[in-house]
Amino acid sequence: MGRLLVVHHTPSPATQEMLEAAVAGAKDDAIEGVEVVLRPALSASVSDVLDADGYLLGTPANIGYISGALKHFFDTIYYPVLEATKGRPFAAYLHSNLGAEGALRAIETITTGLGWSAVAPPCVVEGRVETADHDALYELGATIAATLMG
């Protein structure tokens, strides 16, 4: 059975909506044999990362950067998982009100350093989460989970 680790920082109603839509996609009935494990970024651990086969990352873009919580997650796990997780798939979603370029660059830089492989472009929602955003997030969750099917 594949394991998808969802590491998220969800401080707002918008990021909660995004998390729920992406997780619903990851748990789609058509996807079999994938366990979806949710961990807030501040409590996700090295063992969570090592025990997972792929990752879904969710964060607000705060002042042009990833949340401090997601940065803390990466700071905590980076070296302990560096060799063991090379090549593993990941996907990401971000919520922004004032631009996400810096946050996107940070996720790209860190995941490139880890050697993780993006399965889809990041899903970025600016402002209010609309129906089309829910659909895109659902698809993102389904895409990353489907890569882990048995």
pLDDT tens by residue, 13-67:
999 999 999 999 999 999 999 999 999 999 999 999 999 999 999 999 988 899 9
pLDDT of residue 63: 86
pLDDT of residue 129: 97
Is the pLDDT at 124 greater than 90? The verdict is yes
User: Cα dihedral angle (6, 10, 16, 18), rounded to 10 degrees?
Assistant: -60
Domains, in order of start, for the chain: 2-146 (3.40.50.360)
pLDDT of residue 128: 96
pLDDT of residue 59: 98
Q: Which is nearest to 118 in space by CA: 132, 135, 129, 104?
A: 104
Mean pLDDT of the chain: 97
Q: In angstroms, how far is the first alpha carbon of the chain from the final one?
A: 6
pLDDT of residue 64: 87
Query: Tell me: the pLDDT tens digits for 101-120?
Result: 999 999 999 999 999 999 99
Is the pLDDT at 150 greater than 80? The verdict is no
pTM: 0.97
Mean pLDDT, rounded, for 123-148:
97
Rounded Cα gap, residues 74 and 78, in angstroms: 5
pLDDT of residue 98: 87
